[in-house]
Amino acid sequence: MSGWRGLAWWAVALPLLPLLLPLALRTRRNALRLTPAAGAEQGLVGATAGGEPLRVLLLGESTVAGVGASCLDYALAGQLATALAGRLRRPVCWRALGENGIAAGEAGQRLLPQAQEPVDVVVLVFGVNDTTHFTTLAAWRAALQQMIEYFQRRGARVLCTAVPPLQHFSALPWLLRQLLGWRASLLDEQLRVLAGQLGAHYCGAALTMQKDYLAIDGYHPSTLGYRVWGASLAEALCLA
């Protein structure tokens, strides 16, 4: 079924390329480009709680790099760690391995070699760049499977975050939003099924794309958006 849905997307998108390409180029040229968050790529939250810290690694694209927040403490990694420490009443040691613009297949080559230390929980955050780069569904599945199985062999729990709903990204023109949102839903379906097959956890999109949750570029989460997102991921991990 997913194969037919993928073909249907291409059947709609290809005739629209003469319209889509100028739109995409103009959007790229005029887009407000925010830099990754400042600060160290790792930290410790809740040290006064005592006990052995929970070791959490976030691996992914620009949201793991904290684009849209001033520093990583206020981005997804820091906010998730803070929420987990509060729920579990134990210290949380976090690390963020993120790269702006990276796709899942590239992450397997460039980020995985940097993730050698033992961890308890891994959060994989991918999908936006694979959507905009038109990664095939087969290549998407293969890249995610490689990462999930890599960390599972090392004894870590793996949580896959949903592919963000690009149809709500206000920085994109309407036609691009609709087609990229459709494409993102195809990748997300593949991710959800794959996570279930491999025994990984999947957390559906919990962050609505309302204005307060988006940074000024209309594309990345704001500090508030990261806080809400981090809290929802912490809840998913605690319930899993």
The candidate with the shortest Cα–Cα distance to 83, out of 201, 225, 220, 232, is 232
Q: Is residue 106 part of a domain?
A: yes
Report how far residue 90's alpha carbon sits from residue 45's, in angstroms, rounded to the nearest whole number: 9
- Domain count for the chain: 1
Q: Is residue 167 part of a domain?
A: yes
Q: For strand 121-125 and strand 54-60, is the pairing parallel, antiparallel, or unpaired? A: parallel
Report how far residue 7's alpha carbon sits from residue 153's, in angstroms, rounded to the nearest whole number: 34
The stretch 194-220 carries a mean pLDDT of 83
229, 206 in Cβ contact below 8 A? yes
The stretch 207-229 carries a mean pLDDT of 83
Q: Is residue 172 part of a domain?
A: yes
User: What DSSP line would sit under 209-224, residue for residue?
Assistant: --GGGB-TTSSSB-HH
> What pLDDT, on the 0 to 100 scale, is given for residue 240?
65
* CATH classification at residue 210: 3.40.50.1110
Domain around 227: 2-32+42-239
Model confidence pLDDT, tens digit, residues 143-186:
999 999 999 999 999 999 999 888 877 778 888 888 989 999 99
The whole-model pTM stands at: 0.91
| Percent residues over pLDDT 90 in the chain | 64
Model confidence pLDDT, tens digit, residues 6-43:
788 778 878 777 777 777 777 676 666 788 899 899 99
Report how far residue 117's alpha carbon sits from residue 97's, in angstroms, rounded to the nearest whole number: 12
Decide which of 217 and 209 is more confident.
217
Q: Is residue 37 part of a domain?
A: no
Q: Is residue 9 part of a domain?
A: yes
Residue 13 CA to chain centroid, in angstroms? Answer: 24
Strand partners, 60: 98, 125
